[in-house]
Amino acid sequence: MTKTIEDFKKILQEKNIRLSHQRLKVLEYLVQNKTHPSVDDIYINLQKDLPSLSKATVYNTLNMLEEVGLVNVLTIEDNENHYEITSKNHGHFKCTSCKKIYDFTLDVEEIKSTDLADFEIKERDVYFRGLCPECLDSDQDSSDK
């Protein structure tokens, strides 16, 4: 079910998109880090292996991967985009305290509204915000004092 780097290579080759080292590294980072990283997260981490990496390349790569549908952009924050490998049936929860973004199981295809009968829906994002269990716990701690 989950795609490997080899699967992604095939898909890009079929679309005549060059398999540059940088592109594969960005893809690999997203495959291995299911943390919805920002451009900066990806850039800073990949720089360890690729000191010459440019932030513009990270942007270019992510934009290209989004256009071909392999990557999904999260606009759950108002100042910075976050990225993930495209995958179905989940929503996103952002903890307003620790800023972490969590996936949660949800059949987004099941969300219907008669108002949209004549619309063509191509993307569905469900964004929840609030406090995650960890932050709820530490709130508890501090109120105990």
10/12 Cα distance (integer angstroms): 5
Cβ neighbours, 10 Å, residue 27: 22
Q: How many residues bind DNA (CB under 7 A)?
A: 26
Q: Which of DNA, a copy of itself, none binds 113 (CB below 5-8 Å, type-dependent)?
A: a copy of itself
Q: Is 105 in the site for a copy of itself (CB under 8 A)?
A: yes
Q: Which amino acid is at 111?
A: I
Determine, following the binding rule CB under 7 A, whether residue 111 of this chain makes contact with DNA.
no
- Rounded CA-CA distance 94/87 in Å is 18
Please tell me whether residue 73 binds a copy of itself under the rule CB under 8 A: yes
- Which residue among 17, 31, 44, 106 contacts DNA (CB under 7 A)? 17
* 119 Cβ neighbours under 8 A, 6+ residues apart: none
Q: Minimum distance from CB of 71 to DNA (Å)?
A: 13
Q: How many CA atoms lie within 13 A of 2 on its CB side?
A: 9
State yes or no: residue 68 binds a copy of itself (CB under 8 A). no
Which residue in 36, 44, 28 sits closest to 93, CA to CA? 36
Residues at the interface with DNA (CB under 7 A): 13, 17-23, 38-40, 50, 52-57, 59-61, 63, 78-81
Residues contributing to the site for a copy of itself (CB under 8 A): 73, 75-78, 81, 91, 93, 96, 102-106, 111, 113-116, 118-133, 136
